[in-house]
Amino acid sequence: MRNIQYGGEQQQFRYAHSSFSKRTTAAALDVLLPARTTPRPAPRVTRNARMTPYLVVAVLLAALFAIALALLLARNSVRHRKKLLRLSRHPHRAAPTSPAEAAHKLVLSPLYAALRIHPAQPTLRKTLVLDLDETLVHSQLKRHTKADVRLDVDTTSVFYVSKRPYLHEFLRTTAQWFDIAIYTASQRKYANPLISTLDTDRVVQRRLFRDDCHYVNGNFVKDLTRIQPNLSDVLIVDNSPAAYQFNPNNALPIDAWYDDPDDDELLVLLPLLYSLSFLDDVRSVLQLRLSRGTLVARK
């Protein structure tokens, strides 16, 4: 009788208990398990982002290289200034042993000291003719203590000869590019023994003296065809324009030298002489000083 009376209530309680259990289980799962979210896509790496590490490394390497170069230039500059100071305090000291060392005196930047002049290899060696007095040396009869050579010509004539700075370096270097000849208006008895004394490396191949010159209007004029009939392959370095008036297009003028210990004219000529050794005709360049820079075609 009771089951029938309360049967409806028991059935209603059973449904309520089942609904409560589901809600409780769902709440417990929400607490115990993390919330499910939709996974975010990985960020896209752009090309610029991939290149950033390489750019950083490149910048660092460039900075290190710049620092190393600056230190090298500073060290060379300090050495150069010290050498110039030493030369200014002691101008009587001997010249450097090589043209590369001597170039420090002409240097405009420290990097110039790293340059080296290499021997030229032209198809046909040209002839470089050099004057003697006031070009390579200066001689006088008056005795002086700074003379480099004492030359006894005879019992009554004694010459005291001073060498132009960098003379031996000049001869030694140009002999790699040219056949060297000395052509002087001085007498043989004076010039011949002097040339033998100066030519310590035995690079002078020909010697011409006053009796090989032409006497014109009070001047001894040199004739380059006596050395090389083909004038395209010969040039002369001389301090006297009257001496090369027969062949002005083959001349490379130089200032007369007497006693200046800081003179560097011989060194200044080296780059130009090196270039001339490769030309088919040296007159194509040497004549420019006469034609005011206008090129003149030659047949």
Residues with catalytic function: 131, 133
Phi then psi for residue 191, to 5 deg, are: -75, -40
Residue whose C-alpha is closest to residue 251's, from 267, 269, 264, 268: 269
CA–CA separation, 187 and 138 (whole Å) = 15
Question: Exposed (0-12), middle (13-18) or buried (19+): which is 13, by Cβ within 10 Å?
Answer: exposed
CA–CA separation, 62 and 55 (whole Å) = 10
Q: Express the helix, strand and coil content of the chain in percent, nearest 5 each.
A: 45, 15, 40
Strand 137-140 with 251-253, pairing? unpaired
CA–CA separation, 276 and 122 (whole Å) = 10
Question: Exposed (0-12), middle (13-18) or buried (19+): which is 194, by Cβ within 10 Å?
Answer: buried
Asked whether the beta carbons of 70 and 144 are under 8 A apart, the reply is no
Residue whose C-alpha is closest to residue 192's, from 238, 219, 183: 183
CA–CA separation, 221 and 240 (whole Å) = 10
